[in-house]
Each structure stands twice: as structure tokens, then as C-alpha cells.
Amino acid sequence: MIATDASDALYPPIEPYETGMLLAGEGQRIYWEQSGNPEGKPVVFLHGGPGGGTSPWQRQLFDPEKYRIVLFDQRGCGRSTPHVSEPDADLSHNTTWHLVADIELLRRNLGIAKWQVFGGSWGSALALAYAQTHPEAVSEIVLRGVFTLRRHELEWFYEGGASAIFPDLWEDYIAPIPVLERFHLIEAYHRRLTDPAPAVHVPAALAWTTWEASTLTLTPDAGLVESMTDTDKAVAFARIENHYFMNGGWFEEGQLIANAGVLRDIPAVIVQGRYDICTPIMTAWDLHRAWPEAELVVVDDAGHSATEPGIARALVAATDRFAAR
């Protein structure tokens, strides 16, 4: 759900001209779609979460006359199969590096030589990981709400730091976890989210997802919370996120920022909400210091979500600028 003023910053809604399923191995089938101009500048959109899936409005971040817009649902979520909400869901083949390989396989299958890489939140981490692995395949990078899965980033939002800003919402987040297990909440949630009993994993998934959904915007957005807390979506979202966070994204600590020099010759824009509680500006700032060639745009009246008007305007300004390259 997009607020009216945010919608005003976006291009009109469009439908895909092509959809498909990428056979990615390990039984994974990845939903993908193309919209916009088949002869336009290729761009791949990397959604958040991990586990969030794509939404039709995300096509509207790009000029449909100038861009060939590629969206896909990462492993286990959205329209990709098998879906992680299924009882026998297996996450052993769902890691950052599986996703990086999926992106590259999709690029090759679509016959694209280079494409712009656009990622927000978890998608920014995936964009950095992909671009650092395949810089020759990347024409530009647009990032939003930078997140790199460093330990202190995870601890800030999932282990108690953000409770200083949202103490009321924090009480609901920790409610499913017994007091004696609250010293490490990511691990405590992992035990519940991987429990096969719906009576255990569904309430945990809803509490985890509601905490995140309720803190994404500068002011409350009940529609956004409702859209994210459908049971199947919430189970996939929480399970995949928690799986990635338990494993630190399969990164060495600080890896994505330490390796930013690889991207020095790739034009880039980083869009960051000043009051982003989920992925605080400290990470975007650290990335910008390591990669000063990337333009940092701080939106002073926004939190985390791309649905906020200032964030949406800054993202569209970036994609419009790069459309002409």
C-alpha cells in the first residue's frame, strides 16, 4: 500500500510483458518478470527482507519508456517455489551466495550484458554482494536504507537497541519469548520459527514481522503492517530473515564495506532516511566513507521505507538520471 503523496513521486502502474520461472537448482524455481521497454536500459530490482518478495508498485520506480525492468522473488518467498511457509521447507540451499548465483544466472538467461542494480534494505546488502562479485556486469548501483548485517546492526534492531525508540512495540516483539531466553532474541526466535508446529512458529513469525513492519516508516502505516502480516507471507519473511541473521549473511564481519573499493568505478547513489530505525544512517555513512565516489542522499523527513514520499522522490531522481547513461 502506497500513500497518495508517495504515489505521486512514482511512474504510473504497469503490467509485465513477460514472466517466467528460473530453474536455479536444488529444486528452486525463481519467479521473474520483465516490464517497461524491452529495448530499454536493463535494471534488476532486489527486494528486501530477505524473504519479502516483490510488489507491483516497485516497477513504478523506473521510467517505463526508458527501462527494461526486471523483478524477481528471491528463493523461498513471493511466487518462487518451494515457499518457505510450507511445512517441509528447507533453507539449506538459501544463502546470500545462492542468491548472487541466481541473479547472475537470470542475467545470462535474459541475454543482458550489463544492468543497473537497485536494492533497498536487505536488497542493498545483496546488491553490494552481487556487484562486488560481478562488477563487470553492473552499469550503475542504486541503494536505499543500507544494511550490511554487521553484528552491531543486527543487535541494534533485533536485540534491544531500537527499544529505546519504540518501547511499546518492543513489548509485543519480546512477548513470545520467555524472560530467561531474552538475552539472545535472534536465537530464541530461531528455535520457534524452525519448530514444525504451527502453534509455535506462526505466533513467533507474526510477532517478528509485526515488529519490523511497524517501525519501517517515520509515522505509523497500518496498511503496510497489514500487508506484511498475512500468515504465509509473515512465516516466510520471518523464517528467511532469521536464517540469514543467524548466519551473519554468510559474510565476514564488515565484508561489504571493506570491499567497497571494488565498486569505485561504478556510478552509484545511496538514498538514506535520516530517521531510519531499522537500518540506521550509521551504515550508509560508513559505506559512503569507504566509497566516497557514491553519492549519498540523506532524506531528512523519512524513516526506512521506499513508500515514504521523500525516499520515493530521491530514488526516482536517481533512476531518471541513470536512464540517460
CB atoms within 10 A of CB 61: 24
Q: Spelled out in words, what is the top-level CATH class assigned to the domain 6-149+250-324?
A: alpha beta
pLDDT at 3: 41
Is the omega angle on the peptide bond into residue 50 within 30 degrees of 0, that is, cis?
A: yes
Q: Among 122, 194, 193, 192, which Cα is nearest to 154's? A: 122
pLDDT at 325: 81
Kindly list the strands in the beta sheet with 67-72, ordered across the sheet, starting from the edge strand earlier in the chain: 18-25, 28-36, 67-72, 41-46, 115-120, 138-144, 268-273, 295-299
Estimate the share of the chain in helix, then strand, then coil, as percent rounded to the nearest 5: 45, 15, 40
* pTM listed for this prediction: 0.96
**Average pLDDT for the chain:** 96
pLDDT at 5: 59
Residues β-bridged to residue 112 = none
Q: Compute the average pLDDT of residues 112-118.
A: 98
> CA 5 to CA 236: how far, in whole Å?
30
Q: Hey, which residues are catalytic here? A: 121, 276, 304
Range of weakest confidence among 153-162, 171-180, 228-237 = 228-237
Q: Compute the average pLDDT of residues 204-228.
A: 94
pLDDT at 1: 34
Local confidence band at 2 (pLDDT 50, 70, 90 cut-offs): very low
Range of weakest confidence among 11-25, 80-94, 141-155, 283-297 = 80-94
DSSP per-residue codes, 263-300:
GTTS-EEEEEETT-SSS-HHHHHHHHHH-TTSEEEEET
Intervals of CATH 3.40.50.1820 along the chain: 6-149+250-324
pLDDT at 4: 42
- pLDDT, tens digit, 9 for 90 and up, residues 58-113: 999 999 999 999 999 999 999 999 999 887 778 999 999 999 999 999 999 999 99
- pLDDT, tens digit, 9 for 90 and up, residues 282-302: 999 999 999 999 999 999 999
Q: Among 42, 38, 4, 39, which Cα is nearest to 18's? A: 38
∠ Cα 41 21 229 (to 5°): 95
pLDDT at 124 over 80: yes
pLDDT at 87: 73
